[in-house]
Amino acid sequence: MLTLRSLTKKYGRSGAKAGDGEKTAVDDLSLEVTPGKVTGFLGPNGAGKSTTMRLIMGLDRPTSGTALVNGRAYAQLPYPLREVGALLDAKAAHPRRSAYHHLLGMARSHGIPAGRVHEVLGIAGISEVAGKPVGSFSMGMGQRLGIAAALLGDPEVLLLDEPVNGLDPDGVLWIRTLLRSLAAEGRTVFLSSHLMSEMELTADRLVVIGRGRLLAEAPMADVLAGGTRHTVRVRGPETEELRTLAHHIGAEAENVRWLSDGELEVTGVRAGRVGDVAHERRVRLHELRAAEATLEEAYMRLTSGSVEYADQLKPTPTRSTAGEYDPKASV
């Protein structure tokens, strides 16, 4: 169980002059992450996901508010590894120390027997390379070592920052199965990712943040349902005719957008209605299809406007261009 209460982290000159080079990474974040579920932690780059996790782990000091693990601050836990296993940075190990000794040192800090080190090496599938220095590991092996370290104390809470980064498809499937089974055992699993498709498959609950603020906290199904805003793609041979359609459907649609000269995206109207209007106005269509709502779209809508690096992250619904949004459709 993780409990965040008004958690706030500001960087830069605090106190002196507000706004003067000060940056709020986590802004008044309150939430509970409950046992028995995989809770996905989503947000664009720079939204404060990693900072939140570092605050929970007592690595960074909150400016205000609290982050509690099983009701206590991390630093107050007598045996932290037995309560929280965390993968924050896969390469949080000395590159010239062997994976085995990395884990053995951690185990000794808690009086965990060396046999457990071999077990987690086995669970993570890196027993054969345990004697090799961590610096020689690939990204995926580093992630597996991080997972092994997180499981070492058999903790009730698991905190994973981007665990599927660098894993091959085999590894992604492995992590997904592992996390699901850990949650099924009644553990609290909190994982951040920017891979929304992955989240859709793994998480039961979603916490979405943007610019350090909580944007949504809901069961996955609700978030997906909330994202079901009717979006219809229309393609036709004549731009002029499509313009007529755009004009007439525009009155009842939320939004009409040109994806290219021959393609429109209509939001807030069902595909059938678009077809009817096209028929009434004698607009020839070559394609008319309802776009399926995905977590990605739900997420994009939630986070648009709170995107930290807007220029780098173009494909938000309001500012995307045809090619990027759906390359297949613009052929």
The span from the CA of 55 to the CA of 45, in Å, is 17
DSSP secondary structure string for all residues of 144-177? HHHHHHHHTT--SEEEEESTTTT--HHHHHHHHH
Q: Record the tokens describing residue 36, joined without a space.
A: 């028995």
Using the Cα atoms of residue 281, residue 282, residue 286 and residue 289 in order, give the sign of their dihedral. positive
Q: How many of the chain's residues bind other proteins (CB under 8 A)?
A: 65
Amino acid at 296: E
Is residue 18 near other proteins by the rule CB under 8 A? no
Q: Which of 29, 121, 151, 249 binds other proteins (CB under 8 A)?
A: 151
C-beta closer to other proteins: residue 35 or 268:
35
Give least dist CB 54 to other proteins, A. Answer: 8
Q: Record the tokens describing residue 190, joined without a space.
A: 């909190």
C-beta closer to other proteins: residue 186 or 323:
186
Is residue 111 near other proteins by the rule CB under 8 A? yes
Is residue 182 near other proteins by the rule CB under 8 A? yes
Which residues, listed in sequence order, are joined to residue 160 by a DSSP beta bridge? 87, 191
Where do runs of H (alpha helix) occur along the chain? 49-56, 80-83, 99-109, 114-123, 139-151, 169-184, 196-202, 220-226, 239-249, 271-280, 295-303, 322-325
Q: Which residue has the tokens 């605050």?
A: 55
Give least dist CB 29 to other proteins, A. Answer: 17
Is residue 327 near other proteins by the rule CB under 8 A? no
Is residue 155 near other proteins by the rule CB under 8 A? yes
Q: 96 Cβ partners below 8 Å, 6+ apart?
A: 133, 134, 135
Which span sits near other proteins by CB under 8 A: 182-190, 218-226, 239-247, 302-310? Answer: 182-190
Is residue 88 near other proteins by the rule CB under 8 A? yes
C-beta closer to other proteins: residue 164 or 291:
164
Amino acid at 88: L
Is residue 186 near other proteins by the rule CB under 8 A? yes
Is residue 185 near other proteins by the rule CB under 8 A? yes
Q: Which residue has the tokens 């992590």?
A: 175
Q: Which of 7, 26, 47, 86 binds other proteins (CB under 8 A)?
A: 86
Is residue 299 near other proteins by the rule CB under 8 A? no
Which positions touch other proteins (CB under 8 A)? Answer: 1, 34-36, 54, 57-61, 70-72, 74-75, 77-83, 86, 88-89, 91-98, 101-102, 104-106, 108-112, 116, 119, 122-123, 125, 149, 151, 154-156, 170-171, 173-174, 177-178, 181-182, 184-187
